[in-house]
Amino acid sequence: MASADSSRVNDHVSSGSSSGQGAAPPALFEVVKVYPSRGPMTQYRLASATTFTCSRCQRQKTAKLVATRNGQWDALLCNGCYGFIISRE
């Protein structure tokens, strides 16, 4: 799935934050858009729907929109949990 475009996005993700967040996603994710970070969390639009288990609610989700906390791609958050966390900060 990795292409020249995704490596460009990965470069953007890596340099997009000065606080250490936004580590480059693993090769299995093709990021098409990176949203501005909100505290330690960053949201990403993926090229295709991806199935994952949300690290907060523990539900299996399939979505194009995912979030990371502190750049941890092995602990994705669903959009609902991302919104809940943002509303509490």
Report how far residue 66's alpha carbon sits from residue 53's, in angstroms, rounded to the nearest whole number.
11
Give per-residue pLDDT as tens, 16-69: 333 444 566 777 789 999 999 999 999 999 999 999 999 999 999 999 999 999
CA 12 to CA 67: how far, in whole Å? 16
Q: Do 31 and 23 contact (CB within 8 A), yes or no?
A: no
Task: Give 3's pLDDT tier (boundaries 50, 70, 90).
Answer: very low
pLDDT computed for residue 77 by the predictor: 97
